[in-house]
Amino acid sequence: MRLFKYLFLILLYFSCKQHAQKTVVPAGNKTPAPVRDNILKTAEASINGDHYLIQYTSTYNMYILKNNRDTIFKETDAAADFEFKDFDMDGYKDIRLYYMTNVPGIEGFLLYEPKSKTFKNVLNFQDFPSPVKIGGTQYYYSYHRSGCADMNWTSDLFYIENYQCKKIGTINGYECENSGIKDGIYIAKASGTKQTVIRELPISTIKRYKEYKWGFIADYWQNNYKLFVTAF
């Protein structure tokens, strides 16, 4: 009986010692990124000599991994849809985030920064739904509903500076016989919360365009954005 207890203690000692050993990461190597539970969607791209992987999980988190090792960005309550796309047309793929909301076209924008080889969140980008870049310029315009079953609508002209959107122009369209507001198109220069109307057009103007108000908006901003570069 004593011999049996002695052998049992010896086995228990070596078993505990074995389980107490730590995993050693070789010097110079980085710890691999942890496995995400229940990965629902991924996207990947090679940019500037590096490989980037987006993972979206069942816990509504989004991770961006660089070279399949380092987590360089994490967002909680993240957008369920996304893609790599060179949105600012600088030759490097950015990341566009597409949110499911009651306002169509709400997006997020992670701008690729080539010097640091990472992505940076563009602040207040979600304030400019359905954004479109004006080709050959640094300017963008948006579109969103402003009430009355989309018969009142707004389009803003803006640019991105220091990872923040800055509005410099606005088009407001009214075609709902609003109380106190005459139906029409009101075009204004903008700086912060200040706006100055510089032109008014009849709402019937949009009927001249094949794509209706969206055609008018695209044509106006593409041909007149320079008027708003110096807002005030």
Give pLDDT tens digits along the chain (232 positions): 444 444 444 443 333 333 332 222 233 334 445 555 799 999 999 999 999 999 999 999 999 999 988 899 998 888 889 999 999 999 999 999 999 888 889 999 999 999 999 999 999 999 999 999 999 999 999 999 998 888 999 999 999 999 999 999 999 999 998 778 899 999 999 988 888 999 999 999 999 999 999 999 999 999 999 999 875 4
Chain centroid to CA 31: 28
Which residue is it, tokens 């600088």? 90
- Given a contact cutoff of 8 angstroms between Cβ atoms, the answer to whether 98 and 107 are in contact is yes
Nearest to 206 by CA among 153, 141, 129: 153
Give the whole-angstrom CA distance, residue 12 versus residue 183: 86
Checking DSSP bridges between strand 107-113 and strand 118-121, what pairing results, if any?
antiparallel
At 137, give phi and psi (nearest 5°).
-135, 175
As a whole number of angstroms, the distance between CA 148 and CA 122 comes to: 30
Task: Compute the distance between CA of residue 43 and CA of residue 65 in angstroms, rounded to an integer.
Answer: 11
The Cα–Cα gap between 41 and 25 comes to 29
Nearest to 31 by CA among 66, 60, 69, 67: 69
- Predicted structure pTM score: 0.80
Identify any residues that bridge with 137 across adjacent strands, giving them in sequence order: none
Sign of the CA dihedral 121, 47, 100, 152? positive
What local confidence, expressed as pLDDT, does residue 200 receive?
97
The per-residue pLDDT for 102 is 83
Residue with tokens 């985030």: 97
Query: Residue 28: its pLDDT value, please?
Result: 35
Q: What is the pLDDT of residue 116?
A: 92
